[in-house]
Structure 1
Amino acid sequence: MSYQVLARKWRPRTFEDMVGQEHVLQALIHALESQRLHHAYLFTGTRGVGKTTIGRLLARCLNCETGVTPNPCGECSSCQEIQEGRFVDLIEIDAASRTGVDDMRELTDNVQYSPTRGRYKVYLIDEVHMLTNQSFNAFLKTLEEPPEHVKFLLATTDPQKLPVTVLSRCLQFNLKRMTPEHIAGHLRHVLGAEEIPFEEPALWLLARAADGSMRDALSLTDQAIAFGNQKLSASDVSNMLGTIDQRDIERIVNALVEGDGPALLAEISRISDFAPDYSVILADLLSLFHRVTMEQVVPGSADNALGDAEQVQALARKLSAEDAQLFYQSALIGRKDLTITPDARMGFEMTLLRMLAFRPGADRREPPAISSGGQSAASEPRDEPDPAPTPPQEPAAQIESKQPEPQPPQSGPATDVAAEQAQESSEVPAQPEPEPESQDEAPPLADEDASWLASLDAQAGATAEYEENYPLSDEAPVAEESAPEVAAEPAVQPAPAPEPAFAEPQPEPEPAAEAAPEAEGEFVWHRDFRSLGIIGMPGNLASHGAMSRDGDLITLTIDEGYARLLNSRHEEKILAALRNRFGDSIQLRTEQGNPGPHTPAAYEERQRKARQKAAEASIHQDSVVKSIVERFEARVVEDSIRPAETRPETSRR
């Protein structure tokens, strides 16, 4: 006898043999028991979920010689003929190959004849959505009012293509996709009956590859048995499918969790020998991190749909919520980028390296800088890299004018000379200016501004006033040597490069309650917090807290909203920074409560508002800005004003 494939050999013979379609079977069984039978049934669902099988079982239930029953005997001639596919009153039609209107007219002409052998003449039309509109129109009347001895069983994978006039004439049953658990359980039963040895991970690989289709799962199992020489091992099934098994996924994730870069690269190199589909691997990682997050947010929600519930629960305890979110998002973006990378392995490798490198709390290693002596600057011992001095910046603002702006002439040395000559030969004398105490020349005006203002009007008063340095605030140091008082007149300092026309705005001083304890050299929590070097989420959470110290015990009071996000890893990083500053004997205690106004975050917000207010005042008080506003009916766009960045001490000298 020739070999019969598993998908046909293990086709269900009763409703009890069906797997995973209980919602459909329950309705059909109750209808058969109560004899409430409809004349047309429509079964929808993806391939291999049992649409045709249910149709044949229903035909047996209707034509069993013992009567209409949900439990056909399987021994009478009608049951056996239907089982063997040779029952004359079961007419199976493939609508994909018989789409013409003539085929449908032939069917409707034969409907009127009584059944030859059975109780009912059953028409089983597969892929009914392939019929043409003309065929549907010829079929509608018969479908709505067939003879009493006729039952129509329609099956389709695409019900959206059916006319609503057909849908309204049928009882519709949607068959669900098979879950991996259902498929793995059925394969376990089949292989046990077939006496085929198997490994449990191999069943889950086949169940996931079947993608909801039991027929596909049985066909893949046939192929795997042949591939593995009458046995199913996870490695053989993985090689056959071109995927990796769950143990490989576990090794990759463990390397990520442990931060073990060499082990991660070694695992990537090992699995690349199997030429896997890297997109499928990333999809498996996405599914895993999704279920890990569900387990973290709702403990106990991890199911065993993929046979890895224990691994998911262990990872949920070991992996932080931040890491799980980062890994999920990196895998999602990496899977999308695989289509545009030059090499699939390269894209997969970069995705995993991103997970490793940008994990919260990972070391940030800068590339070594080569010094002038030819040695790497990274090799020289140093405490912390000094920030590069930033050049002073002036407050920026946009001015809108109702008149068109004159085009400034081309800048250059000649333009500066012309501007100076225009100032000296002006008919209207400028307002007398007090002589500055310093004998050094004032910094020259920017080329474009000088030439533009010189062409606006012959008056030199505003231009001369613009050329003088705008007086700096009392707190802004201008040079190492002592400078004269600037309350009544502007101070001029020698400078090799032009200084900005606007004064650098300084933040308003802190209230006396805060400024009193801030003695020189004393650590003040809200003022000196950034010097601790706490970065990332721990730094963000700690900046919203207030610190108090009692000997070696430091208490950090954090608002309840931020305290809920604090975990043991965050506390370890905060404690390490405090010990680095105050000594190894420091202990840390965190508590929920009202931190008050003296937190680093609140302090920095007050500083920002003060700088913004000073910048706006500097713009509005500037004489040149006032002149432009008055002459051109312009206005200052306040939203565009940005305060100048604070200059480091080294750049002020």
Structure 2
Amino acid sequence: MSYQVLARKWRPRTFEDMVGQEHVLQALIHALDNQRLHHAYLFTGTRGVGKTTIGRLLARCLNCETGVTATPCGTCSSCQEIQEGRFVDLIEIDAASRTGVDDMRELTDNVQYSPSRGRFKVYLIDEVHMLTNQSFNAFLKTLEEPPEHVKFLLATTDPQKLPVTVLSRCLQFNLKRMTPEHIAGHLRHVLTQEGIPFEEPALWLLARAADGSMRDALSLTDQAIAFGNQKLSGSDVSNMLGTIDQRDIEKLVNALVENDGPALLSEISRISDFAPDYSVILADLLSLFHRVTMEQVVPGSVDNALGDAAQVESLARRLSAEDAQLFYQAALMGRKDLAVTPDARMGFEMTLLRMLAFRPGADRREPPAIASGGSSSGQEQREDPEPGPAAPEPQPQHSEAQHSEPQRSEPVAEQAAPEQAIPEEVASEPVAEEPEAGPPPAEADDAWLASLDAAAESAAAESAVVEDYESEPVVEEQPQPEPEPEPHQDTGEFVWERHFRSLDIVGMPGNLASNAAMSRNGDEIVLTIDEGHARLLNARHEEKILEALRNRFGDTITLRIEQGDAGGKTPAAWEERQRRARQKAAEEAIRNDPAVQSIVERFEARVVEDSIRPPQQAKG
């Protein structure tokens, strides 16, 4: 007898044998038990998750000689013939090869005939999305109202390509991708029954390589058995797949955690002999650091989906949260860089070295000094022209200090003084003469850059003065400055335009009230609002406004709304005038600032006035 591949030999024979599709099986079992059967079912999902298998099992359930049942006997002639693929009333159609409209018309013409052997004539159409539009049109009427003895079972890996008219006529079930845990568990059962010795890491390598497909997992297992001469070892499977096993990942991560650069490079050199896919290794590292972070944030949340739960729990205790985040980001960026690096190993090596170099708390070392014609002491003197007991800060930190302390620009300028200001010890060393004329030294440029912060602070201080002139808004569109609004009668110091925000009327009521002018006569407050805003006002808005007014002026206050011209005496108009005045003052402050003017003249720069933002005015 010829050998039967594992993917066919271990195809499920009952619903109980199916792995990982419980949500679909539950619906089908209940429908069969209660005789609530639809005429068309659509099964979607990636390759190898069981779409065709479920279709064949459902055909057995419908045609078993014991009756329509979720547990077919498996011994009757109908069950046997379906199992062996020779049941005359189960018509399997590969839509990828029979896409023409003539093929579909032949199908619809034969639908009307009663089944020859079974209870139902079952049409199982695989890859149904490959049918042409003309075929779908010829199929629609039959699909919607087939004879009582016909059931349609459709399967596809790409439901997005199906017309909505087809989708609306079917019960749709989406089969999920298999998790590595489901696949590894099923492989463990299959290999045990087959009597094939195996190592646990080999199962997880196969489960991850299958990428959610049980059929692919079984096919890879067949290949691994042949590769390993009737046994499955982690090293053999790793070599076959061109990957590294979990123990190699663990060694790499341990070298990172221990901050052991030599061990890391040695491990990279060892695994490079297997010519692995470095992108896959980085993907494994990303998955590991993600699960480590999950365990750190929510202890106990790690699962054993990849067979490394113990390693994840250990790393979560040994790694700091900052290290885990850094390693994840470095692996993520390194995986993108692999596509542009001259050599994949180089890119992988640099990614792991980057994790060590930028790890929080790692030793920061300056690049080695290169002496030219002098002793090391002379090199030190050139690095530190000013005598003193303390060495200067590294240049990046020096620049930051200059930006935060502009007053240090004068000492920097002194460093660029004539030669007589240089100490004798430094002058005795061979130093290249500077040209008499040329671009300013770098220190002077740093001083100019540091003055930017001083300019910004000066501009902010001057623009802040605008708040003291709220009673005198200076706006180009207003030829005459407006006087401060007078307090309304019997409202004390309350000025409607200026102090409206203190009423805390929010939402639509506040928006409408801010576009109204206010007058008061005794306990009656009148709000004059233009017609456009008045149309939006309703009783609920008026209640909110009245409630705020009573909170301010007392419970005896009444409110009346009038339509009319507010005359610009509204809070919204007043705030807009203040905003324009502040904007103009801020622009003038920036334009007239001496530091800004110097920068504009020296660097031929320009001020982008649209980017100037005055300080926000506090609520009145």
Residue identity opposite 1:350 in structure 2: M
Name the structure 2 match of 1:44: 44
User: Following the alignment from structure 2 to structure 1, what is the Cα–Cα distance between the partners of residues 171 and 596?
Assistant: 83
Secondary structure of 1:125's aligned partner: strand
User: Following the alignment from structure 1 to structure 2, what is the Cα–Cα distance between the partners of residues 241 and 101?
Assistant: 43
Is the 2:371–2:379 Cα contact (8 Å) retained in structure 1? no
Name the structure 1 match of 2:392: 386
CA-CA distance at 1:367 after TM superposition: 1.4
Number of residue pairs aligned between Structure 1 and Structure 2: 437
Secondary structure of 2:19's aligned partner: coil
Matches for 1:58-207 after TM superposition, within 5 Å: 58-207=58-207
Name the structure 2 match of 1:56: 56
Name the structure 2 match of 1:256: 256
Residue identity opposite 2:355 in structure 1: M
Matches for 1:483-502 after TM superposition, within 5 Å: none
Name the structure 2 match of 1:324: 324
Alpha-carbon distance change, 617 to 13 in structure 1, aligned in 2, over 3 angstroms: closer
Secondary structure of 2:173's aligned partner: strand
Secondary structure of 1:8's aligned partner: helix
Alpha-carbon distance change, 222 to 478 in structure 1, aligned in 2, over 3 angstroms: closer
Matches for 1:228-627 after TM superposition, within 5 Å: 228-376=228-376, 385-387=391-393
Alpha-carbon distance change, 505 to 214 in structure 1, aligned in 2, over 3 angstroms: closer
Residue identity opposite 1:185 in structure 2: G
User: Following the alignment from structure 2 to structure 1, what is the Cα–Cα distance between the partners of residues 320 and 328?
Assistant: 12
Q: TM-score, normalised by structure 1?
A: 0.61
Is the 1:201–1:234 Cα contact (8 Å) retained in structure 2? yes
Secondary structure of 2:172's aligned partner: strand
CA-CA distance at 1:369 after TM superposition: 1.6
User: Following the alignment from structure 1 to structure 2, what is the Cα–Cα distance between the partners of residues 274 and 92?
Assistant: 44
CA-CA distance at 1:623 after TM superposition: 12
Secondary structure of 2:125's aligned partner: strand
Residue identity opposite 2:301 in structure 1: S
Name the structure 2 match of 1:523: none
* Greater helix share, structure number: 2
Alpha-carbon distance change, 506 to 56 in structure 1, aligned in 2, over 3 angstroms: closer
User: Following the alignment from structure 2 to structure 1, what is the Cα–Cα distance between the partners of residues 413 and 283?
Assistant: 60
User: Following the alignment from structure 1 to structure 2, what is the Cα–Cα distance between the partners of residues 624 and 188?
Assistant: 74
Is the 1:368–1:377 Cα contact (8 Å) retained in structure 2? no
CA-CA distance at 1:621 after TM superposition: 8.4
Alpha-carbon distance change, 367 to 105 in structure 1, aligned in 2, over 3 angstroms: same
Alpha-carbon distance change, 373 to 94 in structure 1, aligned in 2, over 3 angstroms: same
**Are positions 1:20 and 2:20 aligned together?**
yes
Is the 1:63–1:118 Cα contact (8 Å) retained in structure 2? yes
Name the structure 1 match of 2:426: none
Structure 2 gaps, min length 5? 382-387, 416-435, 455-587, 613-620
CA-CA distance at 1:43 after TM superposition: 0.2
Alpha-carbon distance change, 379 to 83 in structure 1, aligned in 2, over 3 angstroms: farther
Is the 1:177–1:212 Cα contact (8 Å) retained in structure 2? yes
Name the structure 1 match of 2:552: none
User: Following the alignment from structure 1 to structure 2, what is the Cα–Cα distance between the partners of residues 18 and 206?
Assistant: 19
Name the structure 2 match of 1:432: none
Is the 1:41–1:170 Cα contact (8 Å) retained in structure 2? yes
Is the 1:89–1:115 Cα contact (8 Å) retained in structure 2? yes
User: Following the alignment from structure 1 to structure 2, what is the Cα–Cα distance between the partners of residues 119 and 135?
Assistant: 27
Q: What do the CA deviations read for 1:237-260 (whole angstroms, capped 9, x no partner)? A: 000000000000000000000000
Alpha-carbon distance change, 257 to 147 in structure 1, aligned in 2, over 3 angstroms: same
Secondary structure of 1:244's aligned partner: coil
CA-CA distance at 1:478 after TM superposition: 11
Secondary structure of 2:198's aligned partner: coil
Alpha-carbon distance change, 478 to 619 in structure 1, aligned in 2, over 3 angstroms: farther
Alpha-carbon distance change, 210 to 621 in structure 1, aligned in 2, over 3 angstroms: closer
Q: Which structure is higher in RCO with an 8 Å CA cutoff and minimum separation 6?
A: 1
User: Following the alignment from structure 1 to structure 2, what is the Cα–Cα distance between the partners of residues 212 and 13?
Assistant: 21
Residue identity opposite 1:385 in structure 2: A
Is the 1:63–1:78 Cα contact (8 Å) retained in structure 2? yes
Is the 2:204–2:307 Cα contact (8 Å) retained in structure 1? yes
Residue identity opposite 1:386 in structure 2: P
Secondary structure of 2:328's aligned partner: helix
CA-CA distance at 1:637 after TM superposition: 7.7
Residue identity opposite 2:28 in structure 1: L
Alpha-carbon distance change, 8 to 476 in structure 1, aligned in 2, over 3 angstroms: closer
Residue identity opposite 2:391 in structure 1: P
Q: What do the CA deviations read for 1:619-642 (whole angstroms, capped 9, x no partner)? A: 96869979x99xxxx9998999xx
CA-CA distance at 1:371 after TM superposition: 3.3
CA-CA distance at 1:192 after TM superposition: 0.3
User: Following the alignment from structure 2 to structure 1, what is the Cα–Cα distance between the partners of residues 48 and 74?
Assistant: 23
Secondary structure of 1:92's aligned partner: strand
Residue identity opposite 2:251 in structure 1: R
Is the 2:41–2:172 Cα contact (8 Å) retained in structure 1? yes
Alpha-carbon distance change, 506 to 115 in structure 1, aligned in 2, over 3 angstroms: closer
Query: What percent identity do the matched residue pairs reach?
Result: 83
User: Following the alignment from structure 1 to structure 2, what is the Cα–Cα distance between the partners of residues 167 and 82?
Assistant: 27
User: Following the alignment from structure 1 to structure 2, what is the Cα–Cα distance between the partners of residues 185 and 314?
Assistant: 24
Secondary structure of 2:23's aligned partner: helix
User: Following the alignment from structure 1 to structure 2, what is the Cα–Cα distance between the partners of residues 201 and 635?
Assistant: 64
Structure 1 gaps, min length 5? 398-471, 481-495, 508-615, 641-653
Q: What do the CA deviations read for 1:12-56 (whole angstroms, capped 9, x no partner)? A: 000000000000000000000011100000000000000000000
Name the structure 2 match of 1:463: none
User: Following the alignment from structure 2 to structure 1, what is the Cα–Cα distance between the partners of residues 207 and 452?
Assistant: 68
Alpha-carbon distance change, 146 to 258 in structure 1, aligned in 2, over 3 angstroms: same
Residue identity opposite 1:90 in structure 2: L
Alpha-carbon distance change, 359 to 393 in structure 1, aligned in 2, over 3 angstroms: closer
Q: TM-score, normalised by structure 2?
A: 0.65
User: Following the alignment from structure 2 to structure 1, what is the Cα–Cα distance between the partners of residues 88 and 608?
Assistant: 91
User: Following the alignment from structure 1 to structure 2, what is the Cα–Cα distance between the partners of residues 241 and 366?
Assistant: 43
CA-CA distance at 1:370 after TM superposition: 2.3
